[in-house]
């Protein structure tokens, strides 16, 4: 037989064997699948094998799992089975936010492993949902109005709240609470349904405290009334007594908290106990906790998935930034293959990472589409989940924060070009808080590469970037940033303001009055959509140009046309000038340069004519010198002294300008100004100082 024929026969045999193995695998998988109409499942493992129920009803476990968006609305298609395929009752606790689901299900004796099935678009709700008579279950809704002085009123108010979906449902350790574990809302309707063990027959005293109305029922019988709008009780006078037999009992604590924190406390004194104490967690029946595995798809032997763990948060300027830990997991893949996999993450905010376990800091709360890709050889497995990023509301009372440095280390590695604009704005605020100008500059650069941005972002980013660039001695870049910002907004008034600010930098920082004047005239000649306050700013800025050219009359004319601002009257001028001058002097002395600049801006905006009188400019020059911006200080002092050479502060402004140019290593400008002081101000006390400074060797 020829070798080619042998190879052909061998190939056919190998193909046949492969087909047989594949068919056997598919049949085995199908046999293990509870119902092929359900396309997805996740495995659930309990920490230990549950015992047989010794109380009435089923023992219960609770588990969170991610669905990949495959469940139907409300989770009607969710089913729970043992590994052998025996269905057990369950109850949907919560679906969402994002692709997260929480369910409770009945456990079976000595069985620790279960499957949760979902992904059947034609499924009807389960016929017999789980009846829960274990643990302490809390349900919360928004308060929608109504009274609660009596239990009858509370029931009506509660029914009104229940017309809307609940904020959440979960199990608690006990009835001892002072916050909303589901969000920031404070107007709430809450129902605790708990099952406890009465240790012996006898009379039980129950004591409650609550913010606003609450009522306690034992075995559906009203025991303690605490209706009306009031603060939490600090003593034990809200109480009730009931006779119970030893064993399992139901407790219902129903509460309406119209505002403030939903404080809820239930204490007791069982027979034989002398003191009133909180009902301890050990008194309530237990709820087991399960851990979910990777999503599996029918007829797909291998899959990857991931867990999202809360890493922590940090607080910056009334903002909380969230750190998450993402951990890859898989199903049907050998450890050898797992070790060879390349894990690639996309966090849904333009950022990526690699590795089986990674950390990421989200700069904005919201819903993010997170994708994990696992590559091994030529095959790629993918899983995607919608992940809600927000504070861990159930842990906010502990106020545990990450260090700023830990978040800074992560955020500094980001690709800022790929960040959404609002997240980029948050990055800038974060780096401003940690005083990292290098990263601030990188963020600013990425921001101004965008074609457009919301005004809310521009109003935050532009002033920060402008101040930073000027402080970093890059006024040209600041001008370019402002011109770009003017093009990024669709609001003509805001665009005009940014162009005016660009013109100011061109005139004040760069000494380019011609270009600045073109900007101001363009704004004043095209007033469509531009507000009167903005046009006033352009008018004042135009006056500054004439001032820089030494034309006192034209500068004063533009300032007069602009008029008094800030809601002041001419009679307020002396008081406002004196008050703001004292503030600025103090701010400069304490090196609070931001506040000093703001006060000077307020003064100049209110009474623009004061820009020609001297003292306003004198303080501005002193501020620039304190900031070591000597060129700008020299230029401004020289400009105003030239525009108003007979003013009371002209000689002093010239001398400050000369000293500023000296510190900026501009000897020619320094000597020219000193000569002018010597020539034009012979009677000034500064004349002698100028003469001395002009002597050789000085």
Q: Which two tokens stand for residue 671?
A: 């000597």
pLDDT of residue 399: 86
DSSP letter (8 states) at residue 397: G
452-468 pLDDT, tens per residue? 999 999 999 999 999 99
How much is the pLDDT for 548? 85
The architecture of the domain spanning 570-694 is Alpha Horseshoe (1.25)
Structure tokens at 669: 């400008």
Whether the pLDDT of residue 434 is over 70: the answer is yes
| 363 token code pair | 């700069």
Q: Check residue 580 and give its pLDDT.
A: 94
Residue with tokens 């000077």: 600
Show the tokens assigned to 347: 């966090």
Tell me the per-residue pLDDT of 123-175, one tens digit each, with 9 for 90 and over.
999 988 999 999 999 999 999 999 999 999 999 999 999 999 999 999 999 99
Question: What is the fold of 136-285?
Answer: Jelly Rolls (2.60.120)
pLDDT digits (tens, 9 = 90+) for 494-510: 999 999 999 999 988 88
Task: Write out the DSSP string of 539-573.
Answer: HHHHHHHHHHTT-HHHHHHHHHHH---TT--GGGH
CA–CA gap between residue 519 and residue 506 (Å, rounded): 10
CB atoms within 10 A of CB 155: 14
Give the least confident one: 95-99, 406-410, 588-592, 682-686: 682-686
Q: What does the pLDDT look like over 358-379, one tens digit per residue?
A: 999 999 999 999 999 999 878 8
User: Under CATH, which number does the domain 416-562 receive?
Assistant: 1.25.40.10
Burial zone of 96 (CB within 10 Å; 0-12 exposed, 13-18 middle, 19+ buried): middle
CA distance 395 to 184: 12
Between CA 57 and CA 416 the distance in angstroms is 55
**Lookup: tokens for 148:** 């609660």
What's the average model confidence in pLDDT over 241-249?
97
Containing H/E element for 383? strand 379-389
Run of H or E residues at 688: helix 687-694
pLDDT at residue 31 is higher than 60: no
Phi, psi for 511 (deg, rounded to 5): 65, 40
The DSSP element (H or E) to which 37 belongs, if any, is none
Radius of gyration of the chain (CA): 37
Q: For residue 620, give every residue at least 6 positions away whose Cβ sits within 8 Å of its Cβ, in sequence order, or none.
A: 600, 636
For 38-90, the three-class secondary structure string (H helix, E strand, C coil) is: CCEEEEEEECCCCCCCCCCCCCEEEEEEECCCCCCHHHCCCEEEECCCCEECE
Which band of pLDDT confidence, cut at 50, 70 and 90, is reported for residue 398?
A: confident
CATH code of the region 302-411: 2.60.40.10
Q: Which pLDDT value is given to residue 646? A: 87
Residue 129 and residue 103 in contact, taking contact as beta carbons nearer than 8 Å: no
Q: For residue range 52-106, what is the model confidence (pLDDT) as tens digits?
A: 988 999 999 999 999 999 999 999 999 999 999 999 999 999 999 999 999 999 9
- 686 vs 115: CA distance, rounded Å: 91
| Averaged pLDDT, 636-642 | 87
Residue 9 pLDDT level (bands cut at 50, 70, 90): very low
With tokens 């106990």, the residue in question is 273
Query: Could you give the CA distance from residue 167 to residue 183 in angstroms, rounded to a whole number?
Result: 8
List, by residue range, all CATH 2.60.120.1560 domains of the chain: 136-285
DSSP for 200-235 reads SSEEEEEEEEESSEEEEEETTEEEEEE-SS-PPPSS
Number of Cα atoms under 13 Å in the Cβ half of residue 432: 17
Identify the pLDDT of residue 29.
41
What is the C-alpha to C-alpha distance for residues 266 and 176, in angstroms, rounded to an integer? 7
- Is residue 262 within 8 Å of 211, Cβ to Cβ? yes
Pair 509, 632: CB distance under 8 Å: yes
φ/ψ of 8, rounded to 5, equals -65, -45
- Locate CATH 2.60.40.10 in the chain: 302-411
pLDDT at 22 over 80: no
Token digits for 138? 């809390």
Residues 345 and 358: their CA atoms lie apart, in Å, by: 9
Specify the pTM.
0.83
Task: Indicate the burial class of 158 (C-beta count within 10 angstroms; 0-12, 13-18, 19 or more).
Answer: buried
pLDDT of residue 349: 97
CA distance 618 to 602: 15
Percentage of residues in the chain having pLDDT higher than 90 = 82
Q: What are phi and psi of 331, to 5 degrees?
A: -140, 135
Residue 698: the pLDDT is 57
Dist. CA 640–CA 621, nearest whole Å: 10
Q: Which tokens go with 115?
A: 């499957």
Q: How far apart are CA 468 and CA 459, in angstroms?
A: 15
CATH code 1.25.40.10 region(s) in the chain: 416-562, 570-694
The sign of the CA dihedral 353, 357, 363, 369 is positive
pLDDT in tens, 180-193: 999 999 999 999 99
Q: What is the DSSP letter of 398?
A: G
């Amino acid at each position: 037989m020829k070798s080619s024929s042998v190879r052909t026969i061998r190939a056919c045999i190998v193909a046949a064997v492969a087909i047989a193995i594949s068919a056997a695998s598919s049949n085995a998988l199908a046999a293990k699948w509870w119902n092929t109409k359900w396309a997805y499942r996740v495995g659930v493992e309990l920490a230990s094998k549950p015992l047989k129920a010794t109380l009435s009803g089923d023992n219960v476990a609770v588990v969170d799992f991610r669905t990949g968006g495959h469940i139907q609305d409300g989770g009607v298609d969710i089913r729970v089975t043992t590994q052998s395929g025996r269905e057990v009752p369950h109850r949907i606790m919560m679906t969402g936010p994002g692709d997260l689901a929480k369910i409770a299900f009945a456990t079976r004796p000595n069985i620790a492993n279960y499957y949760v099935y979902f992904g059947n678009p034609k499924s009807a709700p389960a016929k017999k949902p789980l009846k829960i008579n274990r643990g302490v279950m809390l349900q919360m809704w928004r308060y929608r109005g109504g009274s609660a002085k009596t239990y009858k009123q509370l029931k009506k108010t509660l029914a009104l709240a229940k017309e809307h979906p609940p904020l959440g449902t979960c199990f608690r350790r006990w009835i001892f609470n002072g916050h909303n574990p589901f969000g920031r809302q404070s107007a709430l309707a809450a129902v605790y349904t708990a099952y406890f063990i009465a240790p012996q027959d006898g009379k039980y005293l129950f004591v409650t405290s609550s913010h606003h109305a609450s009522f306690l029922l034992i075995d559906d019988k009203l025991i303690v009334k605490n209706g009306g709008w009031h603060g939490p009780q600090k003593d034990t006078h809200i109480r009730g007594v009931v006779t119970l037999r030893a064993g399992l009992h139901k407790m219902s604590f129903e509460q309406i908290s119209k505002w403030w924190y939903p404080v809820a406390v239930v204490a007791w004194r069982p027979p034989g106990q002398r003191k009133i104490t909180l009902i301890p967690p050990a008194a309530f029946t237990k709820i087991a906790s399960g851990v979910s595995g990777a999503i599996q798809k029918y007829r797909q032997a291998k899959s990857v998935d991931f867990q999202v763990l809360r890493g922590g948060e940090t607080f910056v300027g009334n903002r909380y930034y969230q750190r998450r830990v993402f951990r890859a997991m898989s199903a049907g893949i050998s450890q050898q293959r797992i070790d060879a996999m390349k894990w690639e993450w996309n966090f849904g905010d333009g950022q990526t990472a690699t590795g089986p376990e990674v950390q990421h800091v989200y700069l904005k709360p919201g819903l993010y589409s997170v994708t994990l890709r696992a590559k091994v050889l030529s095959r790629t497995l993918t899983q995607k989940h919608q992940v809600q990023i927000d504070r861990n509301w159930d842990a906010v009372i502990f106020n545990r924060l990450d260090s700023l440095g830990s978040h800074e280390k992560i955020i500094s590695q980001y690709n800022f070009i790929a960040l959404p604009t609002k997240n980029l704005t948050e990055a800038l605020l974060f780096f401003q808080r940690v005083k990292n100008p290098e990263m601030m500059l990188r963020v600013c650069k990425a921001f101004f590469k965008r074609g457009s941005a919301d005004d809310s972002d521009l109003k935050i980013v532009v002033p920060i970037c402008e101040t930073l660039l000027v402080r970093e001695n890059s006024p040209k870049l600041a001008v370019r940033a402002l011109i770009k910002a003017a093009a990024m907004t669709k609001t003509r008034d805001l665009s005009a303001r940014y162009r005016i600010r660009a013109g100011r930098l061109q005139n004040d920082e760069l000494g380019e009055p011609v270009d600045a004047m073109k900007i101001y005239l363009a704004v004043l000649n095209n007033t469509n959509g531009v507000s009167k306050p903005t046009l006033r700013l352009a008018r004042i800025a135009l006056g500054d140009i004439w001032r820089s050219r030494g034309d006192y009359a034209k500068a004063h004319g533009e300032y007069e046309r602009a008029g008094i601002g800030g809601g002041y009257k001419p009679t307020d001028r002396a008081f406002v000038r004196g008050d703001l001058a004292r503030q600025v002097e103090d701010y400069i002395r304490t090196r609070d340069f931001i506040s000093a600049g703001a006060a000077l801006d307020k003064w100049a905006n209110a009474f623009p004519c004061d820009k020609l009188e001297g003292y306003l400019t004198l303080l501005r020059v002193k501020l620039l010198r304190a900031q070591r911006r000597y060129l700008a200080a020299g230029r401004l002092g020289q400009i105003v002294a030239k525009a108003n050479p007979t003013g009371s502060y002209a000689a002093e402004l010239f001398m400050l300008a000369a000293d500023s140019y000296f510190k900026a290593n501009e000897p020619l400008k320094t000597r020219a100004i000193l000569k002018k002081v010597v020539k034009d101000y012979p009677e000034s006390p500064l004349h002698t100082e100028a003469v001395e400074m002009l002597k050789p060797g000085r």
